[in-house]
Each structure stands twice: as structure tokens, then as C-alpha cells.
Amino acid sequence: MNLIPHLQTERLILRPFVIDDTKALFNIVQEPNIFQYFPTRKAWSLERTDRYINYQIEHWQRHNYGHWAVMGKESGQLMGWCGLEFLPETNETEVGYLLSNTFWGNGFATEAATASVEFGRNELSLQEIIGLTDPQNRASQRVLEKSGFAFTRKQFYFGMEMFRFST
């Protein structure tokens, strides 16, 4: 079993998910409009939240990367997730993030995404990392731009047209 690294930024700790995170993450994925720009817009069940955490633990073992639990350095509170995910349909690696709407607009997603991309480049020597957003999600597009991504094209992913960005 590979050891999942911890990352620290100025304000955040990115650490491996553990099953004990299920309840806190479940509370986040119940927030109104949390998935408004995701292919599946419905809130997750507790079982689906548990499956996500287990999937991420397995993803780390298969690919040497995955999503981290994003924690506030000062508060120790689970804020959401951020990290890298392998997309088998296109053989690409995507940076993804989802934070509780409590933390939107404070640069936390940019901070976490930048740390994730640096990990992918420096530790894994990934040549390209992509970011995907709903065309209407300007806030997520700004996160990607501030994290060093540039718009490349419109493309279908997950059954919907997305804006594709690349490093």
C-alpha cells in the first residue's frame, strides 16, 4: 500500500480521506447548489459519500494520486476536496475541487488546486493536467486560470459540454 502524502499551503492541509470523514463530507454535499455545475446535480446519499471516499482511497493506490480532504489549517475543519483524478475515457489527469459554499470566494480552491498541480508536476512528472468546468461556472474558470491553466476548447466530458483547460 502506497503512503498518501500530506500537503500544506499557507492556510490549508491536504490530507488523505479516512472513513471517519464520511459524516462531515456528507454535510457538505447536502448544501444547496453544491453540485449545480456537476454532471449529476443531485445531493449525495450517505452511502454515495462513503463510496466516494473509498473510491478515492483506491484511486490513490492505483494511480499514485487522487483527491485529498481539504482541511483548514487553523480550524481543522473539513472544507471539501481537491486533487487529481485519472479520466480513463480520455487518458487524461484532471484537477478537481469542491469546497463547502461557506468557503467560496476566499481563494481556498485556488490554493488547493495550485498545490495539487505542483504535486502532479513535481512529484509525478505529469506532462499535462487538465481542468474542466461547466461553461456557466465562471468562478471555477477563474480558479483554473489563477492556478496556471489556459482555456483550450469546448469538449464533451461526462455527457455534457465542458470548457477544457490545460496546464
Is 158 part of any domain?
no
Decide if pLDDT at 57 tops 60: yes
Is 166 part of any domain?
no
| % of the chain exceeding 90 in pLDDT | 95
8 A C-beta contact, residue 28 and residue 43: no
In the structure grid, which three cell numbers stand for residue 64, read together? Answer: 499514485
| % of the chain exceeding 70 in pLDDT | 99
CA nearest 67: which of 53, 78, 46, 48?
53
Residue 74's CATH number: 3.40.630.30
Query: Which domain range does residue 18 map to?
Result: 7-130
8 A C-beta contact, residue 81 and residue 97: yes
8 A C-beta contact, residue 9 and residue 15: no
Is 48 part of any domain?
yes
Fill in the DSSP letter of residue 38. Answer: S
Is 44 part of any domain?
yes
Is 78 part of any domain?
yes
CA 95 and chain centroid, separation: 6
Is 45 part of any domain?
yes
> How many domains does one find in the chain?
1
Residue with cell 498541480: 117
Is 120 part of any domain?
yes
8 A C-beta contact, residue 140 and residue 133: yes
CA nearest 97: which of 126, 127, 139?
139
- To the question of pTM greater than 0.85 for the whole model, the response is yes
Give residue-wise pLDDT tens across range 125-164. Answer: 999 999 999 999 999 999 999 999 999 999 999 999 999 9
In the structure grid, which three cell numbers stand for residue 144, read together? Answer: 483554473
Contacts of 8 (CB under 8 A, 6+ apart): 14, 73
